[in-house]
Amino acid sequence: MRIITGSARGVRLKAPPGRGTRPTADRTREALFSMLGMRVVDARVLDLFAGTGALGLEALSRGAASAVLIDRATHDVLLENACRTKLTERTEIRRGDVFDQVAGLVREGRTFDLIFADPPYAQGDGRRVLTVVDEGALFAADGLVILEQGADESVIERMGRFLLLRERRYGAARICFYAWQEV
């Protein structure tokens, strides 16, 4: 696994030991960032269930202004990967329960243009992510939530103010793009 393009192009990322983390494949990330295009430049990024940090670090490599990477179990791997890519100055790494950390970001008044979420498949965390982001004030009005889920999981068409804009399947993964639809 490596950073695909940008300032850290070609840098190999460390993966945590064991099978507890399922990094987004290079091919899937490449397709995802092709769809995002210039929307990444100067974006404030939040990477939930960050694992290796590949999504947030790829966004930084492509010109995002900053990224907050959150994971309960991979803090040391995230720190090492931020160092490997030389993107530590624009990276904030938080350790702990994703939903507790999101609540903290809401209390701090933080907002994000792109929110990546890659929760464990088939545990219902995708719905929970959309709910807490919808209820909190951390989502920029013209932002996007990009949710990765198992290809066999039901697609969430609508959740609160979020409306599915696009979804694509890549092997065992499905990538879903959501934006707010004003009611």
The pLDDT tens digits along the chain (183 residues) read: 899 999 999 999 998 876 556 667 778 889 899 999 999 999 999 999 999 999 999 999 999 999 999 999 999 999 999 999 999 999 999 999 999 999 999 999 999 999 999 998 777 788 888 888 888 778 888 899 999 998 888 899 998 889 999 999 988 889 999 998 765
CA distance 54 to 4: 10
Helix 98-108 with 125-135: angle, nearest 10 deg: 10
**Any idea how long the chain is?**
183
Nearest one of 104, 74, 120 to 82, comparing CA atoms: 74
